[in-house]
Structure 1
Amino acid sequence: MSLKHSMLAVLVMLIWGANFVVIDEGLADVPPLLFLALRFTFVALPLVFFVPPPAGWRNVVAVGTFMSLGQFSLLYLALDLGMPAGLASLVLQAQVIFTIVIAAVVIKERPSRRQVAGATLGTGGLAVVVVAHGASAPVVPVLVMLGAATSWAIGNVIARRAGVASGLSLVVWSALVVPLPALGLSLVVDGGAEVGHALTHLSGTAIASTAFTAIGASLLGYGIFNSLLARYPASAVVPFVLLVPVVGIATAWLVQDEVPTVLELAGGVVMLVGVAAATVSRRRPVITPRRGPSVPSPRVESASPTH
């Protein structure tokens, strides 16, 4: 990759890493499911009127259900339940391990020995993180985060089996799956009075957080990331995603004074090494940019990130 494109990839990782803290700060004023509905409303609107829909409505709905609604509803709930934002950015990367396992079972996609070794190592590191966190804080938020990672992994496998490209069109149109169910669940869980009060008393923090997550993390982040995937091999682009938990933990430390324990950090390092082994290709990436507007369908070893 050129220096310019490498810097753009790093910029996206900075946005996605900081996004966990931004979401956590916004949740102080808005119930989690309502906050989710607001975010994806602005991901879809007004671009849905200008961006052509992707082919295959069933696949778009399925990807939106798992990658967007399932993943983020559980992510927002975990943060609302007390999951540390920095640790959340790390635990969510378990989706890579889960994707490999689910793809092997559901679509019979046989993982390589390197992927099996990486997934095994990553699972061991993840177990250390869960046990270490559970020793000093409630483990329920971590389990909810693992549910978010599982939902993301299922969405990855659906996209892989259907050959759905993770382009801007898919991001915008699949976002339509989220607002109404999320709003309906919020009305049931939080009650109409609390939802109404939150909507009529949005703080500056909540508005800024919604704008950052919708415009920065979803639209700008995906716009840049998918343009890079259209130019370069996935093996040259996807490894940048390993920067997300590093940025997430650093941002949480700077903004929220969140300091992971030594055991949590050790488990996180082991997990990321396993994820790297499962995703980073040994083959040298082709440096010459590829031409053409199409975006390659996601591969199991390079599942597209969503934040």
Structure 2
Amino acid sequence: MARQIPTDFNHPPFKLADVGAVLGVILIWGLNFVTMKYALRDFAPFQLGAARYVFAFLPLVFFIPRPRLPAGWIVAGGLAQLGQFAFLFLALRDGMTAAMASVILQTQLFFTTLLGVALLGESLAKKGVYALLLAAVGLVCFAVSAVQGGGAITLTGLLLNLAAAGMWAFANIVARRAQRAHPDFDALQYVVWISLVPIVPFIALAWALDPAEVRWNWLGARDSSWASVVFLGLVATVAAYAMWTQLLKRHAASRVAPFSLGVPVVGLVAAIVLLGETVTALQWLGSGLVVAALVMFMGWRR
């Protein structure tokens, strides 16, 4: 019989399998940003987007049935994913380090909250506003660092990264609306089938916008770059989301969500160790403020 971690009587206990899933998701999503940097050595951003979703969809379409949802929800979720990773891959190519991307992308929580208030009629406690303001100060630190230069991030990269966080938030709102309309839909089926939607748009964007001399570079991609694509598609997209979804099914979101704070920590360490990236004092300050805002915000929501 599996050991259980003691907890209060109002919630089911975390089993060892749950702890393993939490640690697995944190490690996978934290390494995600370094993996993207590796893949972008040989793939243009839109090419990488297409390849990621091909590997997320094609191997599993033969085993995972279509979710019991109207097609509109699947298309909306897929287009949100298209925007998220188009902006993120462009940011990582055009002036954003893997270390800072792992932190800045977590601002999706604040964007999700603001969109929830605007579109879903959700409420925001007054103390939650303080967390938003603290995060805004952290983003100002990143902006000043980008303008000053010398920290390997640019203002363009920062804005693209924030756009990616905003699109992730929109994807969260789509999923929430779908859950309200169809409470019994299977989340894993949803993740797999929305992965179909971005493939053709990413291919079209790559063909239309990539310079002619780089359109076929992916054919000569290194084995490590292809391994990175497989990791992004199957491990970071499907496996990690499946584990995270199972955690959310067994435990309240207020208990699961705080563990996501481990992602930027792993992302920072991995980028520094594996890519040799440096983090300036101003970027450390901005990271600390954003993470502190996330801790405050999650605590107040709980």
Give the TM-score, by structure 2 length. 0.88
Aligned residue number for residue 79 of structure 2: 65
Asked whether the 8 Å contact 2:83–2:164 carries over to 1, the reply is yes
Cα-to-partner distance string for 1:205-251 (whole Å, 9 max, x where unaligned): 21111111112111111121111111111122111111111111100
Asked whether the 8 Å contact 1:166–1:226 carries over to 2, the reply is no
Distance 1:192 1:44 in 2: 27
Distance 1:221 1:18 in 2: 12
Asked whether the 8 Å contact 1:13–1:247 carries over to 2, the reply is yes
Aligned residue number for residue 176 of structure 2: 160
Deviation of the 1:98 alpha carbon: 1.1
Aligned residue number for residue 238 of structure 2: 219
Q: 1:281 to 1:48 in 2, by over 3 A?
A: farther
Cα-to-partner distance string for 1:55-87 (whole Å, 9 max, x where unaligned): 122111111111x10000110111111310110
Asked whether the 8 Å contact 1:61–1:177 carries over to 2, the reply is yes
Q: 1:166 to 1:249 in 2, by over 3 A?
A: farther
Distance 1:280 1:163 in 2: 24
Q: How does 1:235-274 map to 2 (within 5 A)?
A: 235-274=254-293
Distance 1:29 1:282 in 2: 42
Distance 1:39 1:214 in 2: 5
Distance 2:147 2:213 in 1: 34
Amino acid at match of 1:21: V
Amino acid at match of 1:70: G
Distance 1:282 1:106 in 2: 18
Aligned residue number for residue 154 of structure 2: 138
Amino acid at match of 1:167: A
Cα-to-partner distance string for 1:129-175 (whole Å, 9 max, x where unaligned): 22223322421111111111111111212222332668211111000
Distance 2:48 2:206 in 1: 9
Aligned residue number for residue 42 of structure 2: 29
Aligned residue number for residue 294 of structure 1: none
Could you say what secondary structure the match of 1:124 adopts? helix
Is structure 2 residue 52 aligned with structure 1 residue 39? yes
Amino acid at match of 2:242: G
Deviation of the 1:190 alpha carbon: 1.3
Aligned residue number for residue 179 of structure 1: 199
Deviation of the 1:101 alpha carbon: 1.3
Q: 1:110 to 1:242 in 2, by over 3 A?
A: same
Q: How does 1:1-307 map to 2 (within 5 A)?
A: 1-54=14-67, 55-66=69-80, 68-136=81-149, 137-163=153-179, 167-191=187-211, 194-195=214-215, 197-280=216-299
Deviation of the 1:123 alpha carbon: 1.9
Distance 1:268 1:20 in 2: 16
Deviation of the 1:10 alpha carbon: 1.4
Could you say what secondary structure the match of 1:52 adopts? coil
Q: 1:58 to 1:239 in 2, by over 3 A?
A: same
Distance 2:34 2:175 in 1: 28
**Amino-acid identity (%):** 34
Runs ≥4 residues deviating over 6 A: none
Q: Could you list the runs of 5+ residues in structure 1 that have no partner in the other structure?
A: 284-307
Could you say what secondary structure the match of 1:279 adopts? helix
Asked whether the 8 Å contact 2:128–2:300 carries over to 1, the reply is no
Q: Could you list the runs of 5+ residues in structure 2 that have no partner in the other structure?
A: 1-13
Asked whether the 8 Å contact 1:235–1:281 carries over to 2, the reply is no
Deviation of the 1:191 alpha carbon: 4.4
Amino acid at match of 2:238: L
Amino acid at match of 2:77: V
Amino acid at match of 2:243: I
Asked whether the 8 Å contact 2:127–2:300 carries over to 1, the reply is no
Greater shift, 151-160 or 172-181, is seen at 151-160
Distance 1:8 1:245 in 2: 17
Q: 1:2 to 1:113 in 2, by over 3 A?
A: farther
Could you say what secondary structure the match of 2:124 adopts? coil
